[in-house]
Amino acid sequence: MPVPSYLLPYDFSPLTLLSYVLVLGFYGVALLRMPEQDRPGPGRIVTFTLGVMLCYAVMQTRFDYYSQYMFFVHRGQHLILHHLGPILIALSNPLPVMRFWYQKISPSVRYWLQPLGWIYRILQQPFIASFLFVELIYFWLWPPIHFDAMLSRQLYWIMNWSMLLDGLLFWWLIFDPRSPALTNALGYGKRILLLALVAIPQMILGAWIVFSRGMVYDVYEVCGRAWPMPPETDQLLGGLLTWIPPAMMSIIGILIVLRRAMHEDGKFPKSRSLAGGNA
pLDDT value at 157 more than 80: yes
pLDDT in tens, 159-181: 999 999 999 999 999 999 988 98
| Residues 146 and 137: beta-carbon distance below 8 Å | no
Q: Answer yes or no: is 96 within a domain.
A: yes
pLDDT of residue 267: 67
Whole-structure pTM over 0.85, yes or no? yes
Q: How far apart are CA 172 and CA 223, in angstroms?
A: 36
Percent of the chain having pLDDT more than 90? 70
pLDDT at 223: 83
DSSP result, 16-30: HHHHHHHHHHHHHHH
The answer to the question of residue 271 being in a domain is no
Q: What is the pLDDT of residue 183?
A: 87
193-231: pLDDT as tens digits: 999 999 999 999 999 999 998 899 989 988 888 888 999
Give the residue numbers spanning the domain of 185. Answer: 3-105+113-266
In a domain, 11, yes or no: yes
In a domain, 82, yes or no: yes
How many separate domains does the chain show? 1
Residue 92 has what pLDDT? 95
pLDDT given at position 5: 78
DSSP secondary structure string, 6-62? GGS-SS--HHHHHHHHHHHHHHHHHHHHS-GGGSPPHHHHHHHHHHHHHHHHHHHSH
Per-chain mean pLDDT for the chain: 90
Flag whether 274 is in a domain: no
Q: Is 273 a domain residue?
A: no
Q: Is the pLDDT of residue 29 over 70?
A: yes
pLDDT digits (tens, 9 = 90+) for 93-117: 998 888 888 888 888 888 888 888 8
Instruction: Note the pLDDT of residue 97.
Output: 86
Q: Would residue 138 count as lying in a domain?
A: yes
Task: Specify if 278 maps to a domain.
Answer: no
Q: Which pLDDT score, from 0 to 100, does residue 11 have?
A: 86
